[in-house]
Structure formats: structure tokens, C-alpha cells
Structure 1
Amino acid sequence: MQRPLGLAVFLSLGVAGCATGPDYKAPLSADLGVPASYAGRQAAPLAEAELANWWTRFGDPALNALVEQAVAANLDIAQAEARLRQAREASVQAGAGLLPSLGASAGGGRNFNSSSGDNNSFSLGLDASWQADLFGGTRRGVEAARADEAASRYSLASVRVAIVAEVVTNYIQLRLAQEQLRIAGANVGHQRENRNIAGWRVQAGLVSSLDEQQARVQLAQTEASIPAIEGNLAGALNRLAVLTGQAPGAATQALEAPAPIPEPPAGISAGIPADTLRQRPDVLGAERSLAAATARIGVAEAQLLPSLGISGNIGTSALRPGGLFDIVTGALFASLGQTIFDGGARRSQMRSQQAAVDGAFASYRQTVLGALEDVENALVAGQAAERRTGQFAEAADAANNSALLARLQYQSGLTDFQTLLTAEQSLLSASNSLAGSRAEEALAVVQLYNALGGGWQTMDGSGR
């Protein structure tokens, strides 16, 4: 027994450095279709510190506090953290397969015999077993589990990136709704004054009642827009409460006080090198998922090869505790197994895993290309919003001057009410367009930083 057992141990040690399946190599950028830069633009990569806390560049303390609260209390982040802890324990469990298992037993009892009398019995035992990783299948399993753990961490980071972006987005929409309410309120004030003036002129016989009715229509339409804006405001407040892990209502009362739409930060690079996408956690997670799928080819391939198991036990028994170690017995066994026929199940598992690798590579590439698309769209949206803001600002200034002049002329009887009505409608439209464009400019910045994967770079081991 000693020679076969020694040979088995020798063989297991001899192949310990081998592992079935392919060794993973990360795909090159060219294989993923990643260009050196986007659309011919060149720029230095954004600093990690800028990406990590990008929302602070808006210079809004209320927004900073909201993001910090969401990172600490958001329930989607809490769920992702739980999944990461599960993945870490799966890595521990996979690594345990490389080590032997030990078990101990102890027993005691009293035997009753009418002829020989009663006596006690005691026993101690120790069992050990080890499944030799002859062809590296277990090691490939550990490799896959660790890659899964990394993918779970990047999944958590992706959730955090998305939550931060959603908080900032809803905050901007909240401030936009407050600005729209301010604009509507100011226009309602002017339109009430216009209605009163039209009523006085009708009573004086200077104009027909058509002026007064048109003034009433204009006022009612503007007032009718207010409830919808208030609904948007309430929706943004409620969403911010949930994003920060709180019930809607009292949690966001401090945000109900009107404040300006956050000013977008200046100085963001006009072009982002493709290497910056290495910051995106979904891209990093897709790459780790590909690594895990590749490692599992080795796990499946190892099932086709022989397995070696070694086990042993030591035990003793006695009629009294003091005699337990007088006689100690033990045994050592080795077993070699090989599946001869399983209907092709194991080979099918290996082919299935190879297909999983192909799917993981396609998913990785799709994630990278989608990330490129996101950045391109964000850059274009930011540039377009910036141009529109300048144009709407000029339009709003002109519309305001025109409305002031039209009011004065109507009061003096120098123009008709239709001219005033058109000027007031132009002012309301231009003011809302300017507010919307300013919000879009800020939202484009959110879109860009979200596309670049900003907001997770300072995440610690727990995900916070």
C-alpha cells in the first residue's frame, strides 16, 4: 500500500503546476474596436480626483450633502454591497477546495451485559481527506470565483455611479421646476395687470370687450400650467427622498426653498481619450466576467480527467479514559477515479462553457462600444446645450424688452391688445426656454461624467 500511495502523492505534486483550460489574456483595444481617440479629438485624460467627486464642481452645498447621504443610505447600493459580500464568501469557499478537510469525533457509553457485567466504553477519532487538484480544475475554480468577486465589486461601483448621477439629475430638475414656477408666477402677475387694464379700457369705451376676454384666456392658460410644474417639483423631491433612503415628505422639506439651477462647471475637456473608459466600472466588470468564464473552461475540462483522492483516519477506543492512548489504530487510503462513459455530458459542459466565453467576449465588446457611444452623445449634448443657452439668453432679453414696451404702449393706447398678447407669450416662451436650456447644459455635464464612470474612484472595500 505504501508504494502505490507514495506514487499517487508524487504524481499529484508533479502535476501541481499544470492547469487545464486556457490561460486568460485580456483582449487588446483593437480587438474591442476602441479607437485611439474619439472623432479625431485629442485631450489629456481627466484626473481621477475630478472623476471621483465630480458633482462638487457645481459648487452647491445642498447637492453635495444629498450625494453623500445617497452613497451612505441608498438601498440599491446596500443590495449591491450584499451581493459583493456573497461573492467574497464564494471565493473563500472555492479556495477551501484546495485544502484537506479534517473531522474529529469522540464518544462514550455504558454497555449492559447480564453475564459479564456492565462496563464503560470510550473512543476518539480523527478523519482526514484531500482531493488532489491533479489538473488544476480547483485552481481554475478559485480563479473564476475571484474574477466573479471583482466583477461584483465593479457592479457595485456601477450602481453607485448610476445613483450619484440620478441624484444630481433630480436635483437639477427640482431647481428647474422652481425656476419655471418663478417664471410662471411673474407672468401671472403681469397678465393680471393686463387683464385689469383691458377691463378699465372696456369700461371707458376705448376698446371692445375682445381685449378683456383675450386677457382672461392668456391668464387662465398660464395659471393652468402651474399645477403640472408643481407636480414635476413634487416628483423630484420624492425621488430624492427615496434615493437617499428616506420616505417622501419631511425628508426633503429643506429643499423646497427655491434656489438657482446649478451652474455647470467650466473647463471640462472637449475630447476624451479612449483610455479614460478604463475608469468605467461596467467595462471593468465585463472584462472580469470574461476572465471568469475563461477560467471555467478549465474547470469543465478537468472533469474529463482522472481524479485522485487521499483519505486517512486515526482512532482509539478503551474501556476507561486512561487507556485511550494504549492502542492507536489508523489507516491511509488513496483512490483514483476516471469517468468512462457519461453520455457526453462532461464534454457538452466544456463546449457550453466555451460558448459562454464567446458570449462574455461579445458582452464585453458591446459594453465598451456602448461606453464610447455614451461619451460621444454626452459631448455633443453639452456643446449643443451651451450654444442654445447663449441664443435663448439673447432671445429672453429681447422678449423682456419687447413685453415692457408693449405694456407701456397698450396702457397709453398706442398699440392694440393683440400686440401685447404676442409679446407676453414670447416672453413666457423665451424665459422657459432659457431655464430649460440652462438645466440641459447642467444635465449634459451629468451625462458626461456618468458616461466616463465618475463617482466610484474613492470607494473603499465595503463599497462606500
Structure 2
Amino acid sequence: MATRLLPLAALLLAGCTVGPNFTAPVPRAPDRWSRASLEAPAYARSRAEARAVDETWWEGFHDPTLTWLVITADQGNPDIEEAAARIAETRQQRSVAYAGFWPTVEANASDTRLRLSQNSPFASIAGGQVSAGGGGPPNAGQGLAIPTGPKPGFAIYQGSFDAAWELDIFGRTRRGVEAAEADILGAERLLDNARLSLRAEAARTYLELRGLQARQAIARQSLRLQRDNLGLTRSRFTSGFATEVDVANAEALVASTESTLPLLDAQVTQAMNRLARLLGQEPGTLSGQLAAPAPVPPAPPAVAIGLPIETIRRRPDVASAEAALAAQTARIGVATAQLYPSLRINGSIGLQAGNTANLFDTASRFFSIGPSLLIPIFEGGRLRAQVRLEEARQRTAAIAWRRTVLDALHEVENALAAYYGDQGRRDGLRRQASAARRAADTARTRFSAGLGTFLEVLDADRTRLSAELAVAETTAAVATDLVAVYKALGGGWQPGGAGPVATP
């Protein structure tokens, strides 16, 4: 027996894993971010002022409500639960792939009744074996109930354990496990990406909500001033110091501002509902917690953004695309192994008899063991077509990876450009709003003293309201832009002494 196993052992030791081995692709990334997205002379600070931004980047806003929203969203969002379920699914797929390394054992019991054709040559042979005093071999019919006569037939009762073990000589099972491991890694990175997107969306929506509430407060304050102007204008009209046109213009401005409040109220409600959806809750559940207005939390003083290649390596979507490429590369090996012979060791042990009376006798025992070699010769081109299919899928996965890298680079550049651009716009609007408030106060004072026209008051008040609303909007935009920067960078960056600094 040992001598028979030697050739088999030699063949197993000589086995190899067919198909290409995966090599992690090298991303093409610039040495640094473009000057257009990094230059901001009005906001430049030293690197020493930059503080590390880790995965809990939302804490840099120092807003307890924002922190609570982000943490709660992680726990209740159905998208996160779905991504986690996919990880469990891929782990079960790995278990299925690992099962290929082990033999299969099955229990088999059968009760088979056979009737031979009377015109078959086997019928005469069977009949001759059981004929009385026939010339058949000794004990030819023992254990088989083969009746004589015109309808030859018999019964077979059998119970057995059957085992089969396919040796993974060419690595088909190993490549399958390799693909399953890569699928698990890809699912884990997809979960990371889902968490990153969820946190960024929760933070962005909350900051937009605070910006809308600030615009609400500005509109209501302006409405109070405009109503005061309307009362003053009517009083001056009664005294003959203002015209009916002035009164109509004052009424029109009040009505215009009043019309903006329902829209802002609706947008605030929608923002609260979006946050509730992100937290996996029903609409309106956050109204009590978020209805009280609060200022837009200020952005951190400085953010270290790292280098492009570091960002690419850190982003979970790029890592997921790379894992998908690795899995598809392994599947080429699975398909290639199908072109090679497969060696199986088959074994069976059990009991077999022609009737139940002697089924459990010692003489009814049987066993068989031995290797079988299956060599594919003609499959109509199916096996080679499967290899070419997996190779085409690998090329598609490689293109998807390159596209993901390119999109990531553009996302960071665009987020930085928007971040700096909105900062400049916000500072300009702040100066405009300050000047507009002074102009509105001066125009109202002049009009009250009878030195100016109501048209001056009207124009100055419109300019002031527009500028203050724009400041509130851009203040929220700067904060949401920074959230977009964090998301584009892969959730935060721990600077290691290298990399530019993004500063507001």
C-alpha cells in the first residue's frame, strides 16, 4: 500500500498553483496638490499651528450635538447594517471555498429492483446462473434474489459510506480561497467607506441646518426692522412727508421678506428629516432636539492634508477597488485550473445483499478505494472561454481601480478649491454686510430726520438683508466644504512631518 502511495505523494508535492499572482498596482499620483487648490495667502499659517486630524475629525468642530449625531448615525443607519451584512456574507463564502480542501463523506442506502429485458443477452446469463444443476460457476447466485423463468430480475439492498477527496494539485481551491479572502477585505473597506460617507453626510446636513436657522434669524430680524420702517413711512405719509409710493414700497419689502420665511421653515424641516433618515429614525423625531437655533460651529484652525499618494493609500474606496482586482485575478487561476487534470481519491465501504435476511452478514461487506484521474479533452471551448471571461473581468476591475484613483484625486482637488474659494467669498461678504448695515442705519436716520428719501432706505435695507443672508450661507458653506475635504482625504490624516497644511 505504501509503495502505491509514493507516486501519489510525488505528484502532490509537484503540484503548483496556476494562474497569475496578484501584484498590488502602483497608483499614479502627483507629488503634491496643485497650487490652485492650496494657495490661500490670506489664510496661510505655519505648519506648527496645524493639529492632527484623526478619524474623529468631527470633534474638531467642538459641537456636542454634531458629535452625538455622527456617533448615533453609525449605530442606527440601515446602509451601515447592510454593508456589515455583506461582510458576514463574504465570510461564509470563504468557508464554502475552504471546504474544498476537505474530503466529502456521504451515507447511502438503497433498495433497487431490477427487471432485465427478456431479449437481452444478460437475461439468459442471469437465468443460467440460478438454474438448478446448471453449469454456472459455484455459488453463482448466492446473495442475489434472481428469479428464473420468463421474467428475469432481482433486487439489491445496499447501505454504504462513500468518500471522495479531490487533491488541489493545480491550486483551484487555493485560488478560490484567495478570491474569497480578497472579497472579505473589499467588503470591509466598503463598510469603512459607507461609514465615512454617512459621517460626512450627517455632519454636512447638520451644518446646513444651522446655516438655515441662522438665515431664519436674520430674516426675522430684518422683518422686524422693515415693519418698523413701514410704520414710520405710514406716519410720515400721514404728516405729508412721504408719498403713497413710499408706503407701497415699504409694504412690498415687508411682503417679500415674509415670503422667504415659509421656504426657510420648509428647508429646516427637510434638513431635520434628512438627519432622522441618516440615523434610521422616523421623520420628525429630531425636531425637539434640533429646533432651538444654534450658530454654525467654527471650522478647526488648521488641517494637515498630507500628500496625494498618502491620500490614495488611505481612502477606503480605493482599497476596496484594489481588493476587487485581487479577487478577480485569483478567479483567473480558478478558471485556469479547470483546464488541467483533476485527481480524486474515491472510497466506499458498506453492505450489499440480494435480500434483507443476510444484508448484515459478514459476507455482505464490501469496500472499494482508489484514485481516479479526470482529464478534460473536449468541452466545446467552454473552459478556455471561461478563462478569457475572467481575464476580461480582471481588465474591467483594473480600469475601475484606475478610475477610482483618478476620481479620488479630483475629489480632493475640488474640495480644497471650494474650501478656499468659499473662505474668500465669506470674508468679502462679511465686509460687505458690515458696510451695508452702516449704510442702512444711516439711510434710516436720514429718512427719520427728513433729510433723505425712502428709496435710499429701501435700497440700503435690501442690500443689508442680502449681504447678511449671504454671510450666513457662506459660513455654513465653509464648514461643509471642510467636511468634504475630510471625506475626500479618507476620514482624516495624522501628519508625519510631511504634507501641506489646509487653513481657514
Query: Normalising by the residue count of structure 1, what TM-score does the alignment of the two structures yield?
Result: 0.88
The residue type paired with residue 339 of structure 2 is: L
Tell me how far apart the structure 1 counterparts of residues 109 and 69 of structure 2 sit (CA, whole Å): 59
Other-structure match for 1:139: 174
Tell me how far apart the structure 2 counterparts of residues 341 and 413 of structure 1 sit (CA, whole Å): 104
Per-residue displacement from partner, 1:225-277 (whole Å, max 9, x unpaired)? 11111111011000100100100113342111101112111111266442122
**Does 1:411 pair with 2:448?**
yes
CA contact (8 A) 1:106 1:123 kept: yes
| Structure showing greater Rg | 2
CA 1:66–1:106 in structure 2 vs 1: closer, same or farther (change >3 Å)? same
Other-structure match for 1:73: 76
Other-structure match for 2:95: 92
Q: 2:413 aligns with which of 363, 376, 390?
A: 376
The residue type paired with residue 84 of structure 1 is: I
CA 1:13–1:412 in structure 2 vs 1: closer, same or farther (change >3 Å)? same
Q: 1:448 aligns with which of 485, 493, 504?
A: 485
Q: 2:28 aligns with which of 20, 26, 33?
A: 33
Other-structure match for 2:502: none
The residue type paired with residue 94 of structure 1 is: A
Equivalent position SS for 1:333 = strand
The residue type paired with residue 89 of structure 1 is: Q
**Structure 2 portions without partners, runs of 5+:** 40-45, 112-144, 146-156, 495-504
Tell me how far apart the structure 2 counterparts of residues 52 and 88 of structure 1 sit (CA, whole Å): 26
CA contact (8 A) 2:212 2:473 kept: no
CA 1:270–1:285 in structure 2 vs 1: closer, same or farther (change >3 Å)? closer
Q: 2:262 aligns with which of 224, 227, 239?
A: 227
Q: 2:401 aligns with which of 364, 381, 397?
A: 364
Tell me how far apart the structure 2 counterparts of residues 157 and 49 of structure 1 sit (CA, whole Å): 20
Deviation of residue 159 (structure 1)? 1.1
Give matches, 1:100-115, under 5 Å. 100-104=103-107
Tell me how far apart the structure 1 counterparts of residues 493 and 377 of structure 2 sit (CA, whole Å): 51
Q: 1:20 aligns with which of 2, 15, 18?
A: 18
The residue type paired with residue 93 of structure 1 is: V
Tell me how far apart the structure 2 counterparts of residues 296 and 380 of structure 1 sit (CA, whole Å): 41
CA contact (8 A) 2:352 2:366 kept: no
Equivalent position SS for 1:103 = strand
Aligned residues: 439
**Does 1:191 pair with 2:190?**
no
Other-structure match for 2:163: 128
Per-residue displacement from partner, 1:313-354 (whole Å, max 9, x unpaired)? 23358999xx88898643213111112112211111111111
Tell me how far apart the structure 2 counterparts of residues 250 and 450 of structure 1 sit (CA, whole Å): 27
Tell me how far apart the structure 2 counterparts of residues 107 and 137 of structure 1 sit (CA, whole Å): 33
Equivalent position SS for 2:23 = coil
Equivalent position SS for 1:37 = coil
Other-structure match for 2:122: none
CA contact (8 A) 2:315 2:489 kept: yes
CA contact (8 A) 1:198 1:215 kept: yes
Equivalent position SS for 2:272 = helix
CA 1:271–1:414 in structure 2 vs 1: closer, same or farther (change >3 Å)? farther
Q: 2:210 aligns with which of 175, 181, 187?
A: 175
**Does 1:435 pair with 2:434?**
no
The residue type paired with residue 288 of structure 1 is: A
Tell me how far apart the structure 2 counterparts of residues 11 and 91 of structure 1 sit (CA, whole Å): 29
The residue type paired with residue 193 of structure 2 is: S
CA contact (8 A) 2:94 2:181 kept: yes
Deviation of residue 90 (structure 1)? 0.4
CA 1:434–1:400 in structure 2 vs 1: closer, same or farther (change >3 Å)? same
Identity of aligned residues (%): 38
Per-residue displacement from partner, 1:389-424 (whole Å, max 9, x unpaired)? 211111111111111111111111111000000110
Other-structure match for 1:339: 376
Deviation of residue 35 (structure 1)? 2.0
CA contact (8 A) 1:309 1:334 kept: yes
Equivalent position SS for 2:380 = coil
Q: 1:264 aligns with which of 274, 299, 304?
A: 299
The residue type paired with residue 153 of structure 1 is: E
Equivalent position SS for 2:348 = strand
Deviation of residue 39 (structure 1)? 2.2
CA contact (8 A) 1:160 1:456 kept: no
Equivalent position SS for 1:27 = coil
CA contact (8 A) 1:176 1:261 kept: yes
Per-residue displacement from partner, 1:154-193 (whole Å, max 9, x unpaired)? 1111111111111011101111110010000000000000
CA 1:153–1:271 in structure 2 vs 1: closer, same or farther (change >3 Å)? closer
Deviation of residue 377 (structure 1)? 0.8
Tell me how far apart the structure 1 counterparts of residues 179 and 11 of structure 2 sit (CA, whole Å): 22
Per-residue displacement from partner, 1:105-153 (whole Å, max 9, x unpaired)? 6899xxxx9xxxxxxxx99743321111121111111101110111111
**Structure 1 portions without partners, runs of 5+:** 114-121, 458-464
Tell me how far apart the structure 1 counterparts of residues 164 and 226 of structure 2 sit (CA, whole Å): 89
Equivalent position SS for 1:52 = coil
Other-structure match for 2:428: 391
Tell me how far apart the structure 1 counterparts of residues 249 and 302 of structure 2 sit (CA, whole Å): 48
What is the RMSD computed on CA atoms of the aligned residues? 3.0
Deviates more, 1:61-70 or 1:384-393: 384-393
**Does 1:214 pair with 2:258?**
no
Deviates more, 1:71-80 or 1:47-56: 47-56
CA contact (8 A) 1:123 1:324 kept: no
CA 1:290–1:48 in structure 2 vs 1: closer, same or farther (change >3 Å)? farther
Give matches, 1:278-317, under 5 Å. 278-315=313-350
CA contact (8 A) 2:66 2:203 kept: yes
Tell me how far apart the structure 2 counterparts of residues 102 and 289 of structure 1 sit (CA, whole Å): 34
CA 1:151–1:195 in structure 2 vs 1: closer, same or farther (change >3 Å)? same
CA 1:248–1:455 in structure 2 vs 1: closer, same or farther (change >3 Å)? farther
Equivalent position SS for 1:192 = helix
Other-structure match for 2:8: 9
CA 1:436–1:272 in structure 2 vs 1: closer, same or farther (change >3 Å)? farther
Other-structure match for 1:156: 191
CA 1:456–1:350 in structure 2 vs 1: closer, same or farther (change >3 Å)? farther
CA 1:48–1:180 in structure 2 vs 1: closer, same or farther (change >3 Å)? closer
CA 1:286–1:73 in structure 2 vs 1: closer, same or farther (change >3 Å)? same
Tell me how far apart the structure 1 counterparts of residues 447 and 174 of structure 2 sit (CA, whole Å): 87
Other-structure match for 1:462: none
Other-structure match for 1:117: none
Equivalent position SS for 1:50 = coil
CA contact (8 A) 1:396 1:427 kept: yes
Deviation of residue 92 (structure 1)? 0.9
